Amino acid sequence: MPVQNKDIAEIFSRIADLLDIKNENPFRIRAYRQAAQMISGLSRNVRDMVDEGKDLSSLSGIGKDLAGKIETIVRSGNLPQLKKLEKEVPGELIDLMQLPEMGPKRVKKLYHELGIDSLGALKKAALNHKIRELEGFGEKTEDKIVQSVERWQSAGGEKRFLLIEAEQVVEPLIKMLREIEGVREVEVAGSYRRRKETVGDLDILVTRRKGTPVMERFAEYEDVKEVVAKGEAKTSVRLRSGFQVDLRVFEKSSYGAAMVYFTGSKDHNVSLRKMAKKENLKINEYGVFRGDKSMAGETEASVYEILGLQWIPPELRENRGEIEATQKGELPELITLEDMQGDLQCHSKASDGKDTIEDMAKAAKEKGYNYLAITDHSKRVSVANGLDADRLRRHMEDIDQVNEQLGGIHVLKGVEVDILKNGKLDLPDDVLEKLDVVVASTHYYRDLPRKEQTERIIRALDNPHVHILAHPFGRIINKRDPIDMDFEKILEAVKERNCFIEINAQPDRLDLSDVHAKMAGEMGIKLTISTDAHSMNGLNHMKWGVAQARRAWLTAEDVLNTRSWRNVKKLLKRD
C-alpha cells in the first residue's frame, strides 16, 4: 500500500516516544515529534514529493537526516531504525505513556524495576502496592495510576469528544460562570476555540474583580465529578460526561496573552516564542516582556502586533504556514457562516428525513438562504427508504408544487445517488438529467482495495450528470474509519470534470477533514459545504462545516454555495 503522510508521522512519533523512554537527547526527540506533527498537517502528499525528486529538506523541521529517513519509509514502507529501537524498548511501553500521569521517566523506571510493560501489569502492580515502594513514587501516585488505567480501559483509549459535544457541555458552564458577581471575561480557549473537529479537554479563561470566588464556584459546579487539581491560578475538574475542564484566572492586563497561550496550538505558540526571542522578547501567558518590562498582553492583537504580525484567526493557528502567510500579507480572508447562501444537501420525509419538503424549505428560508437542494437517497440505500426512478419523478413534482406555493426561496430538485460497487449510479441517466443538483456518494463496499475504490469513484464522476462528490471518505468520527482511496487522483478527477467536492457539515462526519479540504482548495477546486440535514434542526449544522472550511484556509470564493442560485446554476454546468 502506498505510504501516506500519516504513516510517516506515526513512525516518527513512535521513534520519539521510544527515544524519550530511553532518555535520549530531548532536542533530538523534539525534532522527531515536530517532524511527525508537520507531516500530518501537510496538505501535499510526501510520497509524491519523493517520486518527483523534490528536496524534502525544504520542509520546515526536516533536515538531511530525516529527509533520508522519509525516503526510506516511502520506498520500503518502514524504517529499520524503528525496528531496532523496538528491540531495545518494548513498543508496548508507548501505550503506557498515553496515560495521564505517565511520562517517559516513570514508564522507564516501572519497566526496569518491576518489569511492567502493559496496562494490565501496571494495574496489577499498583493494586498489589508494589509501586508506592519505588523511590519517587508514593501512595497517591499509585492510586491515581489505578484510576487512570480503569478510566482508560472503560473509555477504550484516549477519548476525544466531538466539537458539538464539547459545546453542549461548555455552554451551560460558561453561562454559570458569567453570572457570578464580579466575573468579567469568560472565554473558552484551546482546540475548542480553534474549532478542531474533536476536543480533548476544555480550557476556560476568566478575568474577575479581586476576591471573586470563581474557583470555588467552578469546583462546586453541579456537573463536576472530581476536582483534579486546585491552585491559585488554575483549577482542573473532571465532569460527569468525562470532560476535563481547566479554569484559569488572569488579570485584565494579561488576558490577550493568556488567550494566545491557551488557544494554541502548542506548535503555533512555539513559533511565536521563537520569533519573540530573536527580538529579545519573551512571551508567556502573562504578556510579552523585554527584560522585566511588559510590552503587550492585554489583547491578542497586541501580542501579534509587537511581533510584526496581524492577528491570526484561531482556526489557522496550527503552525501550518499561517505565520509565514501573515508576514507576507497573504493570510486568506476566511469564509464565514454569513457568506452561505444555500444548502446543497438535505433529506426530506421522502427518504430518511424527519420533515416535509415544505418544512425544510421554510426553515431554510428563515435562515435567509436563497436556495435549498432536497437530495433524498436513491433506492439502493434501502434502510433509508431510498427513491427509485418512479418515486423520484413524483418527488420532483412535489418539489415543483412547494416552489409554486412558497416564494422567496428556490427549492432545488436533487438526489443523493448511491455509487454502486462498479462505479455506476443507482438511478438511470434519463431521470438524473432532469434534476437541478446530483450529489453522488458511497454507502456500501467501504473496504474495497484502494485502487478499485479510487476507480469506482472516478467512474461515478464520469457520469456527466454528477455535480458533487459528497462525504467523500464516509468516515464517522470515533466510529467509522475513512475509506481507503487515492485522494489526489480523486481530486484531479473532480477538477478535470468541473465537479465539486463536499465538506459534509454533520458534526460527526466533517468529511472532508481540514487537511483534505485544504488540499482541494490549493488545487483550485471549488467545494460545497452542506449540512446533509435530516430535519429542520439539522440545517443548523452549517456552522460546523464552515468551521472546518476555515481550518482549511478556504475563502468564500472557494465555496460554491456562497453564491446565489443564479450563479450556482451556471457553475453546475459541467462543460
Partner DNA sequence: GCCGTTTTCGGCCCGACTGTTTTCAGTCG
d(CA 93, CA 110): 10
**Counting contacts by CB under 7 A, is residue 107 touching DNA?**
yes
Per-residue DSSP letters for 519-559?
HHHHTT--EEEE--BSSTGGGGGHHHHHHHHHHTT-BGGGB
The nearer residue to DNA, 60 or 128, going by C-beta atoms, is 60
Number of CB atoms found within 10 A of residue 94's CB: 19
Which residue among 48, 101, 216, 220 contacts DNA (CB under 7 A)?
101
The nearer residue to DNA, 105 or 480, going by C-beta atoms, is 105
Compute the least distance from the CB of residue 135 to DNA, in Å.
Answer: 5
**Could you give phi then psi for residue 399, rounded to 5 degrees?**
-65, -40
Compute the least distance from the CB of residue 513 to DNA, in Å.
Answer: 22
The nearer residue to DNA, 239 or 276, going by C-beta atoms, is 276
The nearer residue to DNA, 64 or 479, going by C-beta atoms, is 64
Please list, residue by residue across 132-165, b when 16 or more beta carbons sit within 10 angstroms of its beta carbon and e when fewer do.
eebeebeeebbebbbebbeebeeeeeeebbbbbb
Restricting to residues 14-73, name those near DNA by CB under 7 A.
25, 27-28, 30-32, 35, 57, 60-67
**Counting contacts by CB under 7 A, is residue 136 touching DNA?**
yes
Contact stretch for DNA (CB under 7 A) within 112-120, 128-136, 176-184, 312-320? 128-136
Contact stretch for DNA (CB under 7 A) within 100-108, 321-329, 502-510, 557-565? 100-108
The nearer residue to DNA, 60 or 537, going by C-beta atoms, is 60
Are residues 259 and 189 in contact, defined by beta-carbon separation less than 8 angstroms? yes
Restricting to residues 166-185, name those near DNA by CB under 7 A.
none
| Contacts with DNA, 455-494, as mask; x by CB under 7 A | ----------------------------------------
Please write down the long-range contacts of 347-350, taking CB distance under 8 Å and 24 or more positions apart: 347/374, 347/375, 347/376, 347/377, 347/384, 347/416, 347/532, 347/533, 347/534, 348/374, 348/376, 350/374, 350/376, 350/385, 350/387, 350/391, 350/395, 350/398
Which residue among 282, 349, 446, 459 contacts DNA (CB under 7 A)?
282
Per-residue DSSP letters for 181-237?
TTEEEEEE-HHHHTT-SEES-EEEEEEE-TT--HHHHHHT-TTEEEEEEE-SSEEEE
**Counting contacts by CB under 7 A, is residue 259 touching DNA?**
no
**Counting contacts by CB under 7 A, is residue 273 touching DNA?**
yes
The nearer residue to DNA, 221 or 445, going by C-beta atoms, is 221
Are residues 532 and 347 in contact, defined by beta-carbon separation less than 8 angstroms? yes
**Counting contacts by CB under 7 A, is residue 342 touching DNA?**
no
Contact stretch for DNA (CB under 7 A) within 167-175, 229-237, 376-384, 505-513? 229-237
Contact stretch for DNA (CB under 7 A) within 263-271, 362-370, 427-435, 479-487? 263-271
Strands 293-296 and 342-343: unpaired
**Sign of torsion over alpha carbons 250, 252, 254, 260:** positive
Contact stretch for DNA (CB under 7 A) within 161-169, 232-240, 306-314, 322-330? 232-240
The nearer residue to DNA, 261 or 565, going by C-beta atoms, is 261
Which residue among 77, 231, 368, 408 contacts DNA (CB under 7 A)?
231
The nearer residue to DNA, 269 or 351, going by C-beta atoms, is 269
- Listing from the earlier edge strand, what are the strands of the sheet with 282-284? 282-284, 287-290, 293-296
Which residue among 285, 355, 436, 455 contacts DNA (CB under 7 A)?
285
Per the document, the length of the chain is 575
Restricting to residues 183-222, name those near DNA by CB under 7 A.
190, 200-201, 203
Number of CB atoms found within 10 A of residue 101's CB: 10
Q: Give me 430's grid cell.
A: 434519463
Which residue among 6, 75, 105, 184 contacts DNA (CB under 7 A)?
105
Using CA atoms, how far residue 40 sits from 13, 199, 200, 420, in Å, is: 11, 17, 18, 31
Number of CB atoms found within 10 A of residue 557's CB: 13
Could you tell me which residues come within 8 angstroms of residue 490 by beta carbon, excluding any fewer than 6 positions away?
A: 454, 457, 458, 469, 472, 501
The nearer residue to DNA, 41 or 264, going by C-beta atoms, is 264
The nearer residue to DNA, 109 or 489, going by C-beta atoms, is 109
> Which residues does residue 290 pair with via DSSP β-bridges, in sequence order?
293
The nearer residue to DNA, 247 or 503, going by C-beta atoms, is 247
Which residue among 77, 120, 138, 157 contacts DNA (CB under 7 A)?
138
**Counting contacts by CB under 7 A, is residue 80 touching DNA?**
no
d(CA 104, CA 472): 39
**Counting contacts by CB under 7 A, is residue 428 touching DNA?**
no
Could you tell me which residues come within 8 angstroms of residue 506 by beta carbon, excluding any fewer than 6 positions away?
A: 471, 531, 532, 541, 544
Are residues 457 and 534 in contact, defined by beta-carbon separation less than 8 angstroms? no
The nearer residue to DNA, 61 or 353, going by C-beta atoms, is 61
Which residue among 262, 369, 371, 473 contacts DNA (CB under 7 A)?
262
**Counting contacts by CB under 7 A, is residue 291 touching DNA?**
no
d(CA 501, CA 44): 18
The nearer residue to DNA, 19 or 539, going by C-beta atoms, is 19
Helical (H) or strand (E) element with 171: helix 163-178
Contact stretch for DNA (CB under 7 A) within 135-143, 318-326, 438-446, 508-516? 135-143
**Counting contacts by CB under 7 A, is residue 308 touching DNA?**
no
**Binding-residue total with DNA (CB under 7 A):** 63
Contacting residues toward DNA, per CB under 7 A: 25, 27-28, 30-32, 35, 57, 60-67, 97, 99-107, 132, 135-142, 144, 190, 200-201, 203, 229-234, 244, 246, 262, 264, 266, 269-270, 273-274, 276-278, 282-286
